[in-house]
């Protein structure tokens, strides 16, 4: 599996986890766990974007 595919897999998994966490925390987007999960997702998306930019 390529690095891009791995990152896409990670992004999808983190998105699923974030959505579950948001429901669990009753849509309190200021909850520290939600913020942390969102930041982790953002970091992986940033890595993905950087990789795509390098390949262009």
Residue 48: Cβ-neighbour burial (10 angstroms; 0-12, 13-18, 19+): middle
Residue 37: other Cβ atoms inside 10 A: 20
- Give the whole-angstrom CA distance, residue 5 versus residue 11: 10
Assess contact for 41 and 15: CB atoms under 8 A: yes
pLDDT tens digits along 24-40:
999 999 999 999 999 99
* pLDDT, tens digit, 9 for 90 and up, residues 6-19: 999 999 999 999 99
pLDDT band at 44 (very low <50, low <70, confident <90, very high): very high
């Amino acid at each position: 599996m390529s690095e891009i595919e791995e990152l896409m897999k990670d992004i999808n998994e983190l998105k699923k986890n974030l959505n579950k966490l948001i429901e669990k925390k009753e849509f309190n987007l200021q909850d520290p766990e939600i913020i942390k999960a969102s930041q982790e997702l953002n970091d992986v998306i940033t890595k993905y974007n950087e990789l795509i930019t390098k390949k262009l």
